[in-house]
Amino acid sequence: MDIKALFDPETFTLTYVVFDPRTRDAVVIDPVLNYEPGGSQTNTRSVDEVTEFVAEKGLRVHFLLETHAHADHLSGAQLLKRRLGAEVVIGADIGLVQETFKSLLDLPEDFATDGRQFDRLIRDGETIEAGSLRVEAIATPGHTPACLSYRIGDAVFVGDALFMEDYGVGRCDFPGGSAETLYHSVHDRLYALPDETRVFVGHDYLPNGRALRYETTIGRAKRENVHLRAETSKAEFVKLRKARDATLASPRLLFPSIHVNVNGGLLPSARANGKRYLNVPINLFRPTDEAGAPIARSEASQKDGVDASPRA
């Protein structure tokens, strides 16, 4: 099994093409559709890189695997599906995320929250066959309620659950996130894998200006991860994670990404004027009145019927 990593420096995202060089069977994990928010314009640079690599190697891509509904980049899965004929796959609990953001983003009444926008939903412990490649799903919620990691051969692709040792683990302050849940996902599930298991992360933010890194091992993560080592207690981790999350700004592409990604990577339908529009709420996490003056969260929750806190 060979692995090609493609890095998008705008969103610090890793896309992986995992393939058997003998049979040329392949899967793609977490593809990116590039988006420039100033002009609200997509482009296909990252999708083109994947397409070109697949063509160069003569690969047959069976599945486009999403580790979760990303909050920092738009998914390129639908365009790759069109080009490569592969199925788009995500965790079966995606409906929990869809239900949350259908309300928060005021999506249409007929927006489905059962995951039907994706071709295939898979559950914890389920395996799918991509020709000669066997893909096992491992539920690793916490960053979102529907996160999956994918184990293929001696490697596991962990999305935003776990990063390189010097960056830690994923944030847990989005709606539906949970530091307690992420602790169990990483400490009890990922760290239960053999120490020699190769780990491929979903992002690398190049801390302190170091060079790109995206591969580690379970054993090294257990020894060295700055947020969660094998000996770290749940209480220690939850305290650290919540304190750190309280200092983090929202991702630059948060609402455009979520709007597209809970829809299976499909852009919103054109409206009567033939144009497509993203739903971007204003002051969702720190509510204000129409003049921009802050209002009490309890009052905002009563008005909206939801708790819009990013740490809900």
Final residue of a structural domain among 194, 227, 245: 245
Q: How far apart are CA 165 and CA 191, in angstroms?
A: 13
The per-residue pLDDT for 309 is 36
Q: How far apart are CA 78 and CA 307, in angstroms?
A: 32
Residue 117 CB partners (closer than 8 Å, separation 6+): 262, 263, 264, 266
Neighbours of 30 (CB within 10 A): 27
**Does residue 250 sit within a domain?**
no
The per-residue pLDDT for 148 is 98
Q: Is 20 helix (H, G, I), strand (E, B) or coil?
A: coil
**Does residue 274 sit within a domain?**
no
**Does residue 15 sit within a domain?**
yes
pLDDT for residue 242 is more than 50: yes
Q: How far apart are CA 28 and CA 13, in angstroms?
A: 13
pLDDT for residue 81 is more than 60: yes
Q: Are residues 84 and 140 located together in one domain of the fold?
A: yes
**Does residue 252 sit within a domain?**
no
Q: Are residues 219 and 309 located together in one domain of the fold?
A: no
**Does residue 262 sit within a domain?**
no
> What mean pLDDT is predicted for residues 5-30?
98
Question: Which ranges constitute the DSSP H helices of the chain?
Answer: 45-57, 77-84, 94-104, 179-183, 218-224, 234-245, 254-261, 297-304
Q: Are residues 203 and 295 located together in one domain of the fold?
A: no
Q: Are residues 141 and 290 located together in one domain of the fold?
A: no
pLDDT band at 285 (very low <50, low <70, confident <90, very high): confident
pLDDT for residue 302 is more than 70: no
Indicate the pTM of the whole model: 0.93
Q: Are residues 173 and 77 located together in one domain of the fold?
A: yes
> What mean pLDDT is predicted for residues 128-141?
98
What percent of the chain has pLDDT above 70? 95
Q: Are residues 81 and 218 located together in one domain of the fold?
A: yes
CA 302 to chain centroid, in Å, comes to 30
**Does residue 263 sit within a domain?**
no
Backbone φ and ψ for 137, nearest 5 degrees, come out as: -90, 135
The per-residue pLDDT for 306 is 43
Assess contact for 215 and 200: CB atoms under 8 A: yes
> What mean pLDDT is predicted for residues 27-46?
97
Q: Are residues 201 and 100 located together in one domain of the fold?
A: yes
The per-residue pLDDT for 71 is 96
Neighbours of 69 (CB within 10 A): 27
Assess contact for 142 and 133: CB atoms under 8 A: no
The per-residue pLDDT for 301 is 54
pLDDT for residue 298 is more than 90: no
Q: Are residues 104 and 25 located together in one domain of the fold?
A: yes
The CATH number of residue 132's host domain is 3.60.15.10
**Number of structural domains in the chain:** 2
pLDDT for residue 228 is more than 90: yes
**Does residue 267 sit within a domain?**
no
Final residue of a structural domain among 220, 245, 270: 245
**Does residue 96 sit within a domain?**
yes
pLDDT band at 296 (very low <50, low <70, confident <90, very high): confident
Q: Are residues 174 and 293 located together in one domain of the fold?
A: no
- Indicate the average pLDDT of the chain: 94
Q: Are residues 219 and 312 located together in one domain of the fold?
A: no
pLDDT for residue 310 is more than 50: no
Q: Are residues 239 and 287 located together in one domain of the fold?
A: no
pLDDT for residue 299 is more than 70: no
Final residue of a structural domain among 219, 245, 271: 245
Which structural domain, as residue segments, surrounds residue 292? 282-312
> What mean pLDDT is predicted for residues 180-209?
98
Q: Are residues 241 and 289 located together in one domain of the fold?
A: no
